[in-house]
Amino acid sequence: MSADYSWVADAMTKAVPWVTTAGIEFREVEAERVVCSLPDLESQRNHVGGPHAAVMFGLAETASGAVGLAAFAEQMERATPLVVNSEVHYRKLAVGPLTAEAVLDRPAAEVVAELDSGSRPEFPVRCTIRDSAGETTGEVVVRWTLRPKKS
């Protein structure tokens, strides 16, 4: 039996208003993997007719944040997730609706063990952005940290 992570989509939508503004939807949410989608909106297109690069990054970053929330939900009382840095590679012109698949790229137990030891752990989330034909249009790695909250 798998855990129910449907609450993650609601939490992300409430905590990050941009998610609703952009029209991002959560298609699949698991402990260490999330798939989000982005509709093809004319208002979000660039000069060549595809989604603006910032919108593509936003889709991937949102999916990566949902992974962090799902994977480390039990740590949120004592730590705040923050982006450390990101690396973006645009692979081909994106046209139409997009999906972003985000996968935790480090065992969650290792991250929690570092947090338990008093460190400020970092963890990468790898994201693949695909068009409606399943072609990879972008790849993003978002490195997150769990900043311990002050007592």
Does residue 151 surpass a pLDDT of 80? no
Give the integer Cα–Cα distance in Å for 87 and 30: 23
Structure tokens at 101: 């698949």
Q: What is the pLDDT of residues 28-85, one digit of tens each?
A: 999 999 999 999 999 988 899 889 999 999 999 999 999 999 999 999 999 999 999 9
Q: Which domains does the chain have, with CATH numbers?
A: 7-148 (3.10.129.10)
Greatest alpha-carbon span in the chain: 50
